[in-house]
Structure 1
Amino acid sequence: MPRGSNMSFVETHGLWTDAQHTAYAGLVERLKKSDVKVVRFSFPDQHGLLRGKTLVVDEAIRAMRSGVTLTTTLFAKDTSHRTVFPVFTAGGGFDMPEMQGACDTLMVADPETFRVLPWAPHTGWVLCDVHFANGMPVPFGTRHLFRRALDRLSKHGFEFVSGLEVEFHVFKVTDPHMKPEHSGQPGLPPDVELLSHGFQYLTELRYDAVDDVMELLRRNIDGLGLPVRSLEVEYGPSQFEFTFAPTKGIKSADDMVLFRSAVKQICQRNGYHATFMCRPRIPNVVSSGWHLHQSLLHAGDGTNAFMPGDATEPLSITGRRYLAGLLAHARGATSLSTPTINGYRRYRPYSNAPDRANWGRDNRGVMLRVLGGANDAASRIENRVGEPTANPYLYFASQVISGLDGMQRKLELPASADTPYETQAEALPRSLNDALDALRADECLREGLGSAFVDYFCKLKQAEIDRFNLEVTEWEHREYFEAF
């Protein structure tokens, strides 16, 4: 297209692929004939939460090519939505003039992600990337970071494949706590009651007790086109699990941010409260995890690069080196797979959750569970370390960067851990603070994510730790108030 004053932001900076241009053309025709009245433009922030703006449909059609303005301060917020960078100082606290003064950036839609929300059929939804006015990607955009890791992998002749197992809780709301005095940063969470007593893992009776909620979620998630495989009643009270078919590239990460947001919205509209928090403070609760299945494909012929040719080997030489890379950077990557203070309540021995960096064949106590074998095209690694709150773009990027390092340096795989809670192996960080120290010291992850991003991420997380340390916990009050 010839350059001229009427060129859009997308065209001026070449931000769409041919496939995205084609998707946009089809989308315009679809929207003109549909009942969609508004379109939500959303981007996954640093925490993996969806933020954005809603436009009426005619304006949305234009804005997909021109971008939607968005303040840079959204990148400066911690999980309480407090701004923790001095945005009105020189460089905006980021040492970047583009981030100074709460100025505007532009959300650029990815037309291939457009959907109509089944629970709000007048509403369209599209996932976005965020760019500066000069067309450059905002370096703190985590979707950009994961895409960059995938590009590095592609240059070595591989494609990333991932599948998801996601645990979460759904409760019935008894008091939403919406009085003015209940607001704050954060506000008072709702009072809830259980949907099931739990502990009857995978029993049909427990599933039937929550069938109405399961069907409500299934119907709406299916309407989004997400590749759901199974709906399960997990071990704990009011605990669910959804599993998803494997997909290539960035799609699983995109699906995860949409799935989490969709579940919370669907439940909110129907008197339920869904939480992906690892371990809610509710009696008898069981921690939720997020297991990430991953493998690589040979880009040339699409075959599984992890499938071993020898039945005595757990994985191919490529897979073994990739696995060794995951182990080598397990401590450094932990804050990216487990980014909340609460998530570290889960790492404990004999609990189906890992407490050290080890691997094993089909063993649910290890951190990295190897599945498949010779002639099994589904051969893969299941990382069991993550919590469901993790930003998928950062979690997945940490895996690609770590695995690729193992492949490039031809790292040797240590012996498997057949008794995972007794085998000697490097302990995983026991707190978010320890995990951040490990990330800061990991040169491979620092290089792969960018030193500026690592420092930025650690500052955001440190703000949460500092606020936590100012609180007097119930444990402290109970332990010391009477005794001393």
Structure 2
Amino acid sequence: MNNENSCDMKHSLRDEGNETEATRMSKLRRTRKKVTKQPVFSTEVGEMDISNSKDNTGDGTQIPTTPHLSSRMKHIKQEMAKNHLQFVRFEATDLHGVSRSKSIPAQFFQEKVIHGVCMPRGYLELIPNPKDDEVDHIRATCFNSDIVLMPELSTFRVLPWAERTARVICDTFTVTGEPLLTSPRYIAKRQLSQLQDSGFSLLSAFIYDFCIFAVPEIINSKTISFPASTLLNNHDQPFIQELVDGLYHTGANVESFSSSTRPGQMEICFLPEFGISAADNAFTLRTGVKEVARKYNYIASFFIETGFCNSGILSHSLWDVEGKTNMFCSNSGIEELTITGKKWLAGLLKHSAALSCLMAPAVSCRKRYSKESKDLKESVPTTWGYNDNSCAFNIKCHGEKGTRIENKLGSATANPYLVLAATVAAGLDGLQSSDGVLAGPHDSTDFYQAKSSEIPLKLEDALVALEEDQCLRQALGETFIRYFVAMKKYELENEETDAERNKFLEYFI
């Protein structure tokens, strides 16, 4: 497989006078691209285990070992018997972040753990008959072939909102045994692996807005009316309690929930976790809230309507590889980012145009970027600030969590795995680059940037920015970038403006 790792090292980081950090920076400078091995599907139980432990491929793809399989399968069998499970869902994310799954009768679960579950590739990549010159298909695989879902057993959970059913989150592979290069979860795991190789780990959590509507009334083929979108957090406690309790039992720990800006709009915050778990939690919410809502005769939507925003914020901080020290926190007692944190933020600012394409991937998502501006512009400046919720990048320096950055470019319709991957890729480039000299908050209210950061308001312009961003192209992979851009151009070409709201409600519900 062609190596599609993170951006090349450009310049070394400055020494902050901290010996531990100096050692870490030295390790960062020595980071080199790796040629990754490919997992091979086995037909023997003794040769395969899909665990959550650190692999030896260097890209986040997990190489199984026998003891983990035996231990995990024993625990899973006990859970299945205890809960009288009938079905197990094998779930994977498509490019939009929506769950695509196959349900397997429980008696066949162990067999499917070994061999995987086949699914048409088009279920995940979502472009009808892509042109050969748009997407580079790998080896013998093509758009019309199958892909194989291989479960990560650490994500096995009984679903409280589905009768006698469990789910397991899967990684996706081609029929030749190679990771699917358009898989958002694979891309996120690969970036987290790059971060770990550089001597860091990421602690992060998503904060989501979503809307709860009453049962819709279909007026005609293109119009849906929602007559009673009035749910607030204290108006329907049984619904909220079942949702939060269900998320807890699936491993997604909710820190808080509340009503938001409009009637029917809710905000839910997760506890921060290291690694891929933050995106897994967001992925679980996107499916769970819809299923619980249906039980109460509601409809849940993450889609952004004109006039208000369903945001998808990634709150994150950079830690040492052992997860013991927050690298954004200064020991001086001054509430400001460290040099490491400033360089990370500089990377986010530098790549904000391309980031916005992945984080606000629909026409309606981007309208919120200009909601405060009365002037007709093609782009708006990327803003940052300390404890300022109006900024695109809000640096929070208060509370028990320590200093962290909220990436507020995202909408709730963005794929959480792509949000995580792109944020890590941009932040790593900031650590590895000396394109910008960073001034402290007492010296300046902004960073000195070689080129000012601007966020395109049109999706078409954001797609161009993503295509031209060589760092993100290399980090996320040429194959993914070409496929994502082709998908978005297809959507733009086939978009009916007057039916957009209904189309997205139907899909994202």
- TM-score higher than 0.5: yes
Partner of 1:246: 272
User: Residue 382 of structure 1: SS of its match in structure 2?
Assistant: strand
Match of 2:110 among 50, 56, 61: 61
Cα distance, 1:459–1:21 mapped onto 2, change above 3 Å: farther
* 1:35-434 aligned within 5 A: 35-78=84-127, 83-85=128-130, 94-100=136-142, 102-175=144-217, 190-196=224-230, 206-279=232-305, 286-300=308-322, 302-312=324-334, 314-350=336-372, 355-372=380-397, 378-410=402-434, 411-413=436-438, 426-434=453-461
> Which digits, 9 at most, give the CA deviation of each residue in 1:430-449, with x for residues without a partner?
02111111000001001101
Residue type at the aligned position of 2:469: D
Partner of 1:458: 485
CA distance in structure 2 between the partners assigned to 1:23 and 1:165 by the alignment? 31
CA distance in structure 2 between the partners assigned to 1:120 and 1:474 by the alignment? 31
CA distance in structure 1 between the partners assigned to 2:486 and 2:361 by the alignment? 12
Partner of 1:436: 463
**1:118–1:220 Cα contact (<8 Å) kept:** yes
Pick which of 44-53 and 292-301 moved more.
292-301
> Which digits, 9 at most, give the CA deviation of each residue in 1:102-152, with x for residues without a partner?
222211011100111111231111100111233211111111111110111
Cα distance, 1:341–1:127 mapped onto 2, change above 3 Å: same
Cα distance, 1:355–1:231 mapped onto 2, change above 3 Å: farther
Unpaired runs of 5+ residues, structure 2, are 1-40, 51-60, 374-378, 501-509
**1:307–1:377 Cα contact (<8 Å) kept:** no
**1:77–1:84 Cα contact (<8 Å) kept:** no
Post-superposition offset of 1:14: 7.0
Partner of 1:185: none
**2:85–2:106 Cα contact (<8 Å) kept:** yes
CA distance in structure 2 between the partners assigned to 1:44 and 1:440 by the alignment? 23
Residue type at the aligned position of 1:365: S
CA distance in structure 1 between the partners assigned to 2:283 and 2:479 by the alignment? 24
**2:130–2:143 Cα contact (<8 Å) kept:** no
CA distance in structure 2 between the partners assigned to 1:68 and 1:9 by the alignment? 18
Residue type at the aligned position of 1:193: P
C-alpha RMSD over aligned residues: 3.1
Cα distance, 1:32–1:62 mapped onto 2, change above 3 Å: farther
Partner of 1:482: none
CA distance in structure 2 between the partners assigned to 1:401 and 1:235 by the alignment? 32
- Larger RCO of the pair (alpha carbons < 8 Å, separation 6+): 2
* 1:11-50 aligned within 5 A: 15-16=63-64, 19=68, 22-50=71-99
CA distance in structure 2 between the partners assigned to 1:456 and 1:39 by the alignment? 30
Pick which of 206-215 and 38-47 moved more.
206-215
Post-superposition offset of 1:213: 3.2
Identity across the alignment (%): 27
Cα distance, 1:367–1:223 mapped onto 2, change above 3 Å: same
Cα distance, 1:298–1:388 mapped onto 2, change above 3 Å: same
Unpaired runs of 5+ residues, structure 1, are 183-187, 198-205, 476-484
Residue type at the aligned position of 2:174: F
Post-superposition offset of 1:215: 2.7
Post-superposition offset of 1:331: 0.5
**1:363–1:418 Cα contact (<8 Å) kept:** no
Cα distance, 1:57–1:301 mapped onto 2, change above 3 Å: closer
Residue type at the aligned position of 1:213: F
Cα distance, 1:28–1:302 mapped onto 2, change above 3 Å: same
> Which digits, 9 at most, give the CA deviation of each residue in 1:22-65, with x for residues without a partner?
32332133324431001111111111111121110011221012
Cα distance, 1:271–1:217 mapped onto 2, change above 3 Å: same
> Which digits, 9 at most, give the CA deviation of each residue in 1:130-176, with x for residues without a partner?
11233211111111111110111001111111012110100101436
CA distance in structure 1 between the partners assigned to 2:372 and 2:329 by the alignment? 30
Residue type at the aligned position of 1:46: L
Cα distance, 1:103–1:74 mapped onto 2, change above 3 Å: same
